Chains A and B, each alone.
Chain A
Amino acid sequence: MTHCPGCGARLDAGAAFVQEFWAGDDRRFLCWCSGCGLLCTVVISARLVSHEPEH
């Protein structure tokens, strides 16, 4: 994770915080952007299961 998903500011320099951790098969990054204040977890999933709504 090098950029904030919210504002696009760089996360790999300065005060921003990016911490990788694992949950089951998922690789996760807890991100805190010191620019916009966004706190989020970005998940790189092994598999994404979704449902297409009726149309």
Chain B
Amino acid sequence: MLSQEKNERLTAVGPGTPMGNLLRRYWWPVATHDMAGRVPVRRRLLGEDLVLFRDGSGQLGLLAEQCQHRRASLTLGCTERTGLRCGYHGWLFDADGRCLEQPGEPADSTFASRIRAVSYPVAELGGLIFAYLGPAPAPLLPRYDLFVWPDVWRDIAHAELPCNFVQIMENSVDPYHVEWLHGRYGSFLRELAGERAVPVVTKKHVKVAFEVFEHGILKRRILEGQTEQDEDWKTGHPLVFPGMLRVGGGGIATFQIRVPVDDTHTWHVWYQTYRFEGPAPPQAAIPVYRVPLHDEQGEWLRDYVDGQDICAWVTQGAIADRSQEHLGRSDLGVIMLRKLYFEQMELVAAGKDPICTYRDPDRNVCVELPMERDKFGGARAFREMWLRESSIRYSPIRDQVLGQFGDVA
């Protein structure tokens, strides 16, 4: 168990909380590229209500949602050549929060110069729009490999989940769940439907290891029949601190990004890259799609790997009550992650940069992360399973991806 006080410290992400202060030291995806247009959209990040827009000059802006004038929502606004105009009385704000116009005020008024909307830096990378809600100077937006690799196909899936982000992150340092949640439970559902067991994910774990390193926590495993020479042990794959998992194999590499919307909601983004052996035509745009959460009966979808994960995360509760849990030795990765969050919160409180903060452009050209190619002992078997059993099954380009890999549906 973890005390209730420590659990709250671990999971509260709003302004002024220790975890909120830590998370504000990082850039977070706030939208996919297709969301930001002339029509302003409401977004919520780290417990703050925001409005995202792209003005007529193409400039992105992210402001606090409520207008500085009479507190109407700026989502009811008009994007102008420069800035966003409140739909209520026409006050105009630029992307830096400056108030450019107050149409109802006398022409000689200097009132506008004393008004400033809360604004945050935004930047586009790899088809995502990132925001930084922390103190200046903002660190560099990390150019993680999947966001910047040339010559790959990409797609982006997303869904908002009704639970705190930490319990989702804990899943990423919990290798044993694979053989039970996906291997046994997933196969049990198949048995009930008269289908064959799920392949690949049923193998037993013989040994697991976790190591804190410069990008977060590196996770290694040996499955039944493997040795320390297999990539699952030799290479492993990382939890990227503070809110991302890198996973994949066989030419597919995914970031699972867990964006803390507030204490009880997480925007989950599956950011995929596909690297084919042969040449592939370039993509015109990165496809974006939503991952469905429920079936026709309103039940959580759980007939595939990502659905089973989602089902486990949300059924732990909006905020998992860690004062009621019973951890064992198989949970040491989870404990390591919690301790890392606490340690990094303390670093920020002491005025220092937490890990994974980039300020040197030379170190941020392309941040390469380790990941197995022959995952679970076989690249192709993993890839074929993953194209069926992950959120990729909803991708609008799934058939084209299968064709480029030369796999069967």
Residues of A within 8 A of B (CB): 12-13, 15-23, 30, 32, 34, 39
Report chain A residues within 8 Å CB of B346. 15, 34
Contact A32 B329 (CB under 8 A): no
Confirm or deny: B192 has a beta carbon within 8 angstroms of a beta carbon on chain A: no
Given A32-B342, A34-B342, residue A19 in contact with residue B2 (CB < 8 A): yes
Main SS of chain A's interface residues? Answer: strand
| 30 residue pairs A–B, Cβ–Cβ below 8 Å | A15-B9, A15-B18, A15-B342, A15-B345, A16-B342, A17-B338, A17-B339, A17-B342, A17-B343, A18-B2, A18-B6, A19-B327, A19-B335, A19-B339, A20-B2, A20-B327, A21-B328, A21-B329, A21-B332, A21-B335, A22-B326, A22-B327, A22-B328, A22-B329, A23-B328, A30-B339, A32-B342, A32-B343, A34-B343, A39-B339
Task: Give the CA-CA distance A30 to B331 in the complex, in Å.
Answer: 12
If over half of B's interface residues share one DSSP class (helix, strand or loop), that class is named, otherwise mixed; here it is helix
B349 within 8 A of A: yes
Q: Is the CB of A21 within 8 A of B327?
A: yes
B409 within 8 A of A: no
Residues of chain B with a CB closer than 8 A to A13's CB: 5
Contact of B339 among A12, A20, A32 (CB under 8 A): A32
Which partner residue on chain B sits nearest A21 by CB separation? B327
Q: How far is the CB of A17 from chain B (nearest CB, A)?
A: 4
**CA of A3 to CA of B138, assembled, Å:** 37
Query: Min CB distance, B311 to chain A, in Å?
Result: 25
Minimal beta-carbon separation of A20 from chain B (angstroms): 5
- A residues near B343, Cβ cutoff 8 Å: 17, 32, 34
Bound form: Cα–Cα A55–B326 in Å: 43
B316 at the binding interface (Cβ < 8 Å): no
Q: A12-B5, A30-B339, A32-B339 are in contact. List 6 more A-B contacts (CB 8 A).
A: A15-B345, A16-B342, A19-B327, A21-B327, A23-B329, A34-B343
Q: How far is the CB of B208 from chain A (nearest CB, A)?
A: 15
Say whether B315 faces chain A, with CB atoms less than 8 Å apart: no
Task: List, in ascending order, chain B residues with CB within 8 A of A15's CB.
Answer: 9, 18, 342, 345-346, 349
